[in-house]
Amino acid sequence: MEGSEAIRPDKYTEAGHTETGRYLGAFQRVERRGDTFVLRAERGGAAVLFPADGIFRIKFFWQGEPDLSSTVAIDPAFRQKSESGIGLEETGDRVILRTSLIALEIDKPTFAFTVRDKEGKVLCRQTRLVCQPRSGVHAVYDMPQDSHFYGLGEKSSFLDKRGERYTNWNTDVYAPHVPEIEALYQSIPFVIHMAGGTSCGLFLDNPGRTEVDMRTHADAFTMGCSTGDYDLYFIAGPSVKDVVTRYTALTGRIELPPKWALGYHQSRYSYMDQEEVLELARTFREKNIPCDVIYLDIHYMDGYRVFTFDPLRFPDPEAMIRELRGMGIRIVPIVDPGVKKDPKYGVYREGVQQGHFCTKLEGDIYFDEVWPGTSAFPDFTDDRTSKWWGDLHSFYTENGIEGIWNDMNEPAVFNESKTMDLDVIHRNNGDLKTHEELHNLYGLLMSKATAEGLKRQLDNRRPFVLTRAGYAGIQRYAAVWTGDNRSFWEHMALAMPMVLNMGLSGLPFAGPDIGGFAHHTSGQLLVRWTQMGAFFPYFRNHSAIDTLRQEPWAFGAETEEIIRKYIGLRYRWLPHIYNLFQEAAATGLPVIRPLVLEYPDDPNVTNLCDQFLLGDAVLIAPVYRPDTDHRAVYLPEGRWFDYWTGEKLEGGRHILAACPLDTMPMYVKSGAIVPEGALAQHADDQTDGNLTFHIYGAEALSGFQAEYSLYEDDGATYDYRDQTYSRLNVRLEGQEGGLKLSYAYAHRQYEANRSLLRFKLCRPEFAPSGVQGLPAITAEQLGEGAEGWHVDGEGSLIIQAADRPSGASWMITAAN
Ligand code: MIG
């Protein structure tokens, strides 16, 4: 039955002997168990569940009965869940399971499956599945000529993954961001397949080694795992947005981060002592460069012992942290998983005595080398150990710390395999597994334990956790940075497709080390990278030991000035960025987006990744080559406004944008609204909460319409879950006789600290002649906070009014 076509070109051979695969064989019968279907084949079969409409889970088994347990990647609400009302049909050669959106057809003779939409159009076809006892289970899927692939989390190379092959095995390789690298720190075995005008997703939920190969075969791609079960989720579209929304319902979405975590972060390996940290903070404040967070890298610890401070370098952390908080700056310390083997060290002692460390099957603790020297590794697969680890963080929270940075949690080990021995045992709450089977979960479980511990200690305040390693679902617990890049222009460019695909893979809160970690940055590279970073979800400047300093002022006054301007822009745009995070928390849609997400039918954007969208209507085109003062920008259909000059540009074409060093090209789509706030020095400074809604493309035509819905809360606590938030809707609409501007609170249990709202119609198409109910005011009166309207020197109409709980609306009339 199996053809001669090899499933893998590098098929395992041993002294001339080719390993033969096992197939399930022909379909035998279907058993219905409640809402779960068990399809029996000659050998084993598959269990099929429908966790939600548009999603089915098919878990293959080779003998006995299927095991329906799932990994922690799946949101608890969807584990073992199956919807009712699934239709079952059997014909001579097919079995069909039908939902309102999709039909799964199993071909009886081959057990191959095809997924169709309501109209019968093929969405996905698995043509074969083979189990090779020594190399795992691999499946082959059809790949039409017009296929494009997205997702896969943190991977190098371009946006569209067609032609690539990747391995998922969390790996710490130093300076790893090269095009051909197959495995990085994160593993998200989720791929979005777009073909024939429709999209779907495949998620292989297996935390061992998995691989996705979109290169080797001309008309097929493969997805496989080396150990464990082939536990596959099919996720319907039809749009890429639908796939992302469904995938993030299944694996969970971010929690709304504390607002301070969306500010600018400054890091270095390492700020060496308390005085250096305080001096750094004072410099930010003296220079008026906004900053929310300073990181403590490994040198803060006493001999790299986690949950300690070095008594000489950091003699009084509590006082240091208090002084920093007075300046509006928080500390985020690094925490690695390796616990130093030292019988005098309390954490180690307790860990041994209470049985928290990973062991070999025979019971010996597994030791290996990391920063602290010989170390033991907590077994986060056990809830009891995770609780212990989480509780240890009171050491930090009692000192006023609210954020933790998890590094080395692949786990990285200084040995040849770069990680734990594969035969290390994980207790896994009683269901023992080897490290080989659970490797990719280690980082996620560490960050989960950390986030849960911090939450228990922070008394209703939101924690921040940053992680290097992770698996599908990591978004529920931590933000992700992309590890050890280098200060290369190429690595700045590569961060775009990497972080954009992370956003499509459920990880919207991500970013690279701005300025580059290893190697030496330059003033120009730092400027360009900071310009781009200002619009990335996670915004941290970090650099390695023995590299040139790269704080914002490190390269002289001119670069400092530009960097100040862009960090400042981040803070003025925070209301909008926070709004996009709220949207990500609610829908799973990413904060920054590849153009293909918003313009899926535009053939120019399927692999466009040197420009991106912030939300759906702001286009950012970073400059990622040295000495460049022009770059090509693609504007999709519609009308766009140059953010800097106000110039109107018709889309559906490429333009050449001027970009002297102080300019990163940015465009806003006609009909969009962007709220900008005051320039604060840190995110929770609420001294001036006044807002200006910038409205682009206003035309006094009855068809014109612009809308924005602003979410606000205290940015710090979980009170929003008890309705303590506000939702302010702004609308501008062309009507007979003028434009109607209105705002209204759809919900107002949270009150921002402001008295005024401003609406700026940026260079409208018409000359405003009046605003009914408001007086014309001068620029001076505007500055003094008077209510009224004013046309500024650039021809923009500014309307200023008191922020009233009841809302307001005005008719804007045009001359002539
Ligand atoms: O092998 O803690 O990716 O951000 O500065 C180096 C020191 C260990 C790797 C992290 C990097 C961090 C560094 N760590």
Question: Does the beta carbon of 483 lie inside 6 Å of ligand 1?
Answer: yes
Say how many Å lie between the CA of residue 266 and the centre of ligand 1: 15
Query: How far apart, in whole angstroms, are the C-alpha atoms of residue 10 and residue 359?
Result: 34
Instruction: Provide the CA 575 distance to its chain's centre, in angstroms.
Output: 19
Residue 747: predicted pLDDT: 98
201 pLDDT more than 80: yes
Q: Where residue 19 falls among pLDDT bands split at 50, 70, 90? A: low
Query: Where does residue 207 rank: exposed (0-12), middle (13-18), buried (19+ CB within 10 A)?
Result: buried
> Per the residue annotation, which of 164, 379, 402, 407 is the catalytic one?
407
Domain residue ranges in the chain: 27-251, 267-335+389-417+438-587, 592-669, 686-814
Query: Is CATH 3.20.20.80 what the domain over 267-335+389-417+438-587 is classified as, yes or no?
Result: yes
Q: What is the DSSP letter of 463?
A: P
494 pLDDT more than 50: yes
734-755 pLDDT, tens digit per residue, is 998 899 999 999 999 999 999 9
Residue 13: predicted pLDDT: 44
Residue 10: predicted pLDDT: 52
Question: Does the beta carbon of 185 lie inside 6 Å of ligand 1?
Answer: no
Question: Does the beta carbon of 484 lie inside 6 Å of ligand 1?
Answer: yes
Residue 14: predicted pLDDT: 44
Query: How far apart, in whole angstroms, are the C-alpha atoms of residue 77 and residue 473?
Result: 13
Residue 15: predicted pLDDT: 46
Atom of ligand 1 nearest to the CA of 513: 4
559-570 pLDDT, tens digit per residue, is 999 999 999 999
Atom of ligand 1 nearest to the CA of 297: 2
Say how many Å lie between the CA of residue 256 and the centre of ligand 1: 27
Asked if the domains 267-335+389-417+438-587 and 686-814 are classified in one and the same CATH topology, the answer is no
Q: Is 713 annotated in the active site?
A: no
Question: Does the beta carbon of 336 lie inside 6 Å of ligand 1?
Answer: no
Q: Is 205 annotated in the active site?
A: no
Kindly state the tokens that stand for 666.
């940015």
175 pLDDT more than 60: yes
Query: How far apart, in whole angstroms, are the C-alpha atoms of residue 41 and residue 44?
Result: 6
Cα of first residue to Cα of last residue in the chain, in angstroms, is 79
Question: Does the beta carbon of 468 lie inside 6 Å of ligand 1?
Answer: yes
Q: Where residue 2 falls among pLDDT bands split at 50, 70, 90? A: low
Residue 792: predicted pLDDT: 96
Query: Pocket of ligand 1, candidates 298, 406, 407: which has the most ligand atoms within 8 Å of its Cβ, to mutate?
Result: 407
453-480 pLDDT, tens digit per residue, is 999 999 999 999 999 999 999 999 999 9
Kindly state the average pLDDT of the residues 422-443. Answer: 98
Residue 130: predicted pLDDT: 95
268-307 pLDDT, tens digit per residue, is 999 999 999 999 999 999 999 999 999 999 999 999 999 9
Question: Do 545 and 515 form a contact (C-beta atoms < 8 A)?
Answer: no
Atom of ligand 1 nearest to the CA of 270: 5
Q: Strand 768-771: give its sheet, edge to edge.
A: 705-712, 726-735, 738-748, 808-814, 768-771
Kindly state the tokens that stand for 581.
């995070």
The string of DSSP codes covering 52-75 is: ETTEEEEEEESSS-------TTS-
Question: Does the beta carbon of 205 lie inside 6 Å of ligand 1?
Answer: no
Question: Does the beta carbon of 269 lie inside 6 Å of ligand 1?
Answer: yes
549 pLDDT more than 80: yes
Whether residue 238 is preceded by a cis peptide bond, meaning omega within 30 degrees of 0, is yes
Query: How far apart, in whole angstroms, are the C-alpha atoms of residue 130 and residue 445?
Result: 31
Query: How far apart, in whole angstroms, are the C-alpha atoms of residue 736 and residue 751?
Result: 35
Residue 688: predicted pLDDT: 86
Class of the CATH domain delimited by 27-251: mainly beta
Question: Do 760 and 731 form a contact (C-beta atoms < 8 A)?
Answer: no
E-assigned strands of 528-578? 540-541
Architecture of domain 592-669: Sandwich (2.60)
Return the number of other C-beta atoms located less than 10 Å from residue 805's C-beta: 9
Residue type, 405: W
Q: Whole-structure pTM over 0.85, yes or no? A: yes
Question: Does the beta carbon of 730 lie inside 6 Å of ligand 1?
Answer: no
Query: How far apart, in whole angstroms, are the C-alpha atoms of residue 642 and residue 623?
Result: 16
Residue type, 495: A
Query: How far apart, in whole angstroms, are the C-alpha atoms of residue 278 and residue 295?
Result: 12
Say how many Å lie between the CA of residue 407 and the centre of ligand 1: 7
687 pLDDT more than 60: yes
Rg (CA), the chain: 28
Atom of ligand 1 nearest to the CA of 545: 5
Q: Where are the alpha helices (DSSP H) in 252-353?
A: 274-286, 317-326, 346-353
412-419 contacts, C-beta under 8 A, 24 or more apart: 412/172, 412/370, 413/338, 413/368, 413/369, 413/370, 414/368, 414/369, 414/370, 415/368, 415/369, 418/171, 418/172, 418/173, 419/170, 419/171, 419/172
Range scoring the smallest mean pLDDT among 154-163, 207-216, 230-239, 679-688: 679-688
Q: Is 484 annotated in the active site?
A: yes
Question: Does the beta carbon of 334 lie inside 6 Å of ligand 1?
Answer: yes
Query: How far apart, in whole angstroms, are the C-alpha atoms of residue 729 and residue 152?
Result: 36
Question: Do 150 and 504 form a contact (C-beta atoms < 8 A)?
Answer: yes
The closest of 631, 638, 632, 641 to 599, measured between CA atoms, is 638
Say how many Å lie between the CA of residue 51 and the centre of ligand 1: 39
Kindly state the tokens that stand for 52.
């939600």
What kind and span of H or E run contains 18? strand 17-18
Atom of ligand 1 nearest to the CA of 269: 5
Q: Where residue 702 falls among pLDDT bands split at 50, 70, 90? A: confident
Kindly state the average pLDDT of the residues 59-84. Answer: 95
599-643 pLDDT, tens digit per residue, is 999 999 999 999 999 999 999 999 999 999 999 999 999 999 999
What does CATH list as the number for 686-814? 2.60.40.1180
Q: Where residue 696 falls among pLDDT bands split at 50, 70, 90? A: very high
3 pLDDT more than 80: no
Kindly state the average pLDDT of the residues 19-44. Answer: 92
φ, ψ for residue 500 (rounded to 5)?
Answer: -65, -45
Mean residue pLDDT across the chain: 96
4 pLDDT more than 60: no
- The pairing of beta strand 55-61 with beta strand 788-791: unpaired
Q: Where residue 700 falls among pLDDT bands split at 50, 70, 90? A: confident
Range scoring the smallest mean pLDDT among 179-183, 336-340, 500-504: 179-183
16 pLDDT more than 50: no
